[in-house]
Structure 1
Amino acid sequence: MITVRNLSKTYRSKKAVTDLSFTVPDGYVTGFLGPNGSGKSTTMRCMLGLDTPTTGTVTFSGDGYDAEFASLNNKHTVAGAVLDAALYTPARSGRNHLRSIAAGAGIPASRVDECLDMVGLTSAADAKVGGYSLGMRQRLGVAAALLGDPQHLILDEPVNGLDPEGVTWMRTMIRDYAARGRAVLVSSHLLSEMEMTADRLVVIGKGQLIGEYSLEEFLADGTRVVAESPDVEALVIALRSFGMDATLIDEEHVHVPVGHQGEKDLRTQIAHIAHNENVLITALHTRSDNLEQRFLAATASAQEYRTH
């Protein structure tokens, strides 16, 4: 598990991250979401010791490294990361790129070909990295992150530049890695893909925590039961009298947010109340916001760059 506690980072007078705390538990994929400029990249760099936090601590598997990850021995077995697919020497082959990293980290050279095979780059292993596509460089970055078979994996925009087959491969790889008891933190702006990949979410805005949720909890807040009735005003009064947050949508429809209550139970309750109060309901159905809609609602006040 990765534990971030009271992490803050200030660049001169600008606060990039403020008192940020969250966890990345083993066995789960944690999505790291936030608008542009929210502090995601700064946070990940601080977690890995590439930047020094102004205040706060980061622990990996319970060991307190006090944000000095970069000085650890055998850190390649603690965490692997993909933060920038552009960090390579163009004239080197993919295989030699990984060999140089493995040699510097004390990792056996035999691990290089294993990781090239894992990411599907065996056939391009001897080609120069400068000729790789963006998607191939993303795969090479993942191979480098996996060299030490780390317990923790931190990925920033890992599907950037991948074709549909590559996106599917990346999603499968990430979920399989977490299923082996590893902790995975993934930052991405492709929310439809994150909805299929993440088990949990950490949402930040303007450098501060908005919330930490299971995926189901986050989506539940955007789910509501819609009731259709020829007498919607009477239906609203009846539902509110039983403590429900009923809202009139139009002259025929009322909606009630599901929240943390089961959707089926809520539909049943609405039907019973309408029946007991002699209010006719002609239809009941459920509407659910997707992750993109919920994200935009949750971060509406934290968007640094907005259009009209």
Structure 2
Amino acid sequence: MIEIQNITVQFGGNKVLNDISMTFEQGEMIGLVAPNGTGKSTFMNVLMNYVKPLKGKVVFKDSLSYSNKSNEVKIHKFVSMMPDQSDLYNHLSGREHLKMFATMWQSDVKLIDETIEALNMKHYVNKKTGTYSLGMRQRLCFAMQIVANTEIMMMDEVMNGLDPNNVEIISNLLLQKKAEGKIIIIASHLLDNLEKYADRIFLFNKGKLVDSNQIIEGFSQAQIKTIRVKNMASDTKKQFQELFPTIKLQTLTNGMSLIHLPSSEASLLSSLTSFLVERNVVDFAFGKVTLNDLYSMYYHEDQNVPAI
């Protein structure tokens, strides 16, 4: 469990984190989404005690907080952050890095070979990391955290530089760790992937963490919430708003128009379908608002940005 109590971080006159309070439970995968420079990395650095807040505190199991160095040592036995590629030693092999992390966290050494096998690293893990490609180095950094096997794992852009096959392999391994009861906190720009696997997704706004369900009610539920229409003509939009004045129509910066549905009643869906087909609009789909849609709505729209 992580209990975040009134955390505020300020750099100069800018409150990067502004009085944040929330709780994360064991067995949760938490997604953090925001443009660069809005507080994602700072938030995780506070959880690791790499950045000290102006006020507030973070409380872990057994009421432990970063009140002294002894407590920090105890907390870091069950909390870890995935290392950065710049943390790798080019003169050491991947296997030596994994042994180092297993030793530091006193985890089961059997995890080393299991993780190497799961991540398809056998053909290069005994080579020096100075010879690794970007994707190989990223897999090693992820493997190091898996081998540490802590109860709480934090990752900043874990999928960076990976091809789709390795994204899928890592995602499945994360689901396995979640099933083991670990808290996994991931900051990512790979939104389609994050939406598939995260239990809760938070966006950053003016120093606050905002639950995606606060922005769009029921966002995380698998219900028909919208019609997504590509390249909807201006005159069609005008006609739509005249015929359906109570239904919200929103156009994103990528040209996608979202028709936000007040309900998924068959009669309403039939009426909207007929309206579109009669005007030769055929490139549309029913579904829920995607995380990519939500990101565009929240960070790139001049209007309709929710007030916090």
Q: TM-score, normalised by structure 2?
A: 0.74
Matched, 1:27 2:30: no
Decide which structure has the larger Cα Rg and report it: 1
Secondary structure of 1:126's counterpart equals coil
CA RMSD of aligned residues (A): 3.8
> 1: distance between equivalents of 2:240 and 2:188?
41
Partner Cα separation in structure 2 for residue 281 and residue 93 of structure 1: 59
Counterpart in the other structure of 2:219: 218
Unaligned runs of 5+ in 1: 250-254, 275-279, 303-308
User: What CA distance in whole angstroms lies between the structure 2 residues aligned with 1:73 and 1:202?
Assistant: 29
User: Is the contact between residue 203 and residue 210 of structure 1 (CA under 8 Å) also seen in structure 2?
Assistant: yes
Return the alpha-carbon distance in structure 2 between the equivalents of residues 10 and 89 of structure 1.
33
Residues 55 and 292 of structure 1, relative CA distance in 2, 3 Å threshold: same
Partner of 1:187: 187
Any conservation in 1 of the 2:64–2:75 contact (CA below 8 Å)?
A: no
Asked whether the 8 Å contact 1:47–1:67 carries over to 2, the reply is: no
1:112-123 to 2 correspondence within 5 Å? 112-123=112-123
Q: Quick one: distance in 2 between partners of 1:301 and 1:16?
A: 21
1:98 Cα deviation from its structure 2 partner: 2.4
- Partner residue of 1:277? none
Q: What is the one-letter code of the residue matched to 1:211?
A: D
Supply the distance in 1 between the matched residues of 2:194 and 2:139 (Cα, whole angstroms).
18
Alignment of 1:71-86 (within 5 A): 71-73=71-73, 75=75, 77-86=77-86
Task: Using the TM superposition, give the Cα deviation of residue 60 of structure 1 relative to its aligned residue in structure 2, in angstroms.
Answer: 2.9
Aligned equivalents of 1:57, 1:40: Cα separation in 2: 17
The residue number in structure 2 matching 1:258 is 261
Contact 2:156-2:187 at 8 Å conserved across structures:
yes
Corresponding residue for residue 291 of structure 1: 291
2: CA distance, partners of 1:281 / 1:140: 49
- Give the alignment of 1:116-265 within 5 angstroms: 116-213=116-213, 217-218=218-219, 223-224=225-226, 236=244, 245-247=246-248, 257-258=260-261, 263=264, 265=265
Given that residues 2 and 25 in structure 2 are in contact (C-alpha distance below 8 angstroms), is that contact kept between their aligned partners in structure 1? yes
Bigger mean CA deviation after superposition, 38-47 or 92-101: 92-101
Q: Secondary structure at the match of 1:125?
A: coil
- The answer for unaligned runs of 5 or more in structure 2 is 229-235, 251-257, 277-284, 303-308
State the Cα distance separating 1:39 from its structure 2 match.
0.5
* Cα deviation 1:209-251 (Å, max 9, x = unaligned): 233539982367993369x9xx978854xxx7xxxx33589xx
Matched residue type, 2:155: L
Q: Cα distance 1:179–1:68, how it changes in 2: closer, same or farther (>3 A)?
A: farther
Partner of 1:80, secondary structure, is strand
> What secondary structure, in the 3-state scheme, does the structure 2 residue paired with 1:147 have?
helix
Task: Give CA-to-partner distance per residue, 1:44-98, whole Å, 9 cap, x none.
Answer: 0110112222222223346331476995345455223215222111101111122
Q: Counterpart of 1:37 in 2: which secondary structure?
A: coil
> SS at 1:295's partner residue?
helix
Distance 1:102 1:197 in 2: 27
Alpha-carbon spacing, 1:30–1:107, altered in 2? closer, same or farther (3 Å): closer
Q: Deviations over 1:95-148 (max 9, x none)?
A: 112223333344455543343334332332211011112222222112221223
Change (3 A) 1:107 1:30: closer
- SS of the residue corresponding to residue 52 of structure 2 reads coil
SS in 1 for 2:99: helix
- What's the CA shift for 1:8? 1.4
Q: Percent of counterpart pairs with the same letter? A: 26
3-state SS of 2:148 partner = coil
The residue type paired with residue 72 of structure 1 is E
Q: Deviations over 1:171-214 (max 9, x none)?
A: 11112221222221111011122222222201113422233539
Q: Retained in 1: the 8 A contact 2:203–2:212?
A: yes
Deviates more, 1:209-218 or 1:26-35: 209-218
Distance 1:233 1:11 in 2: 45
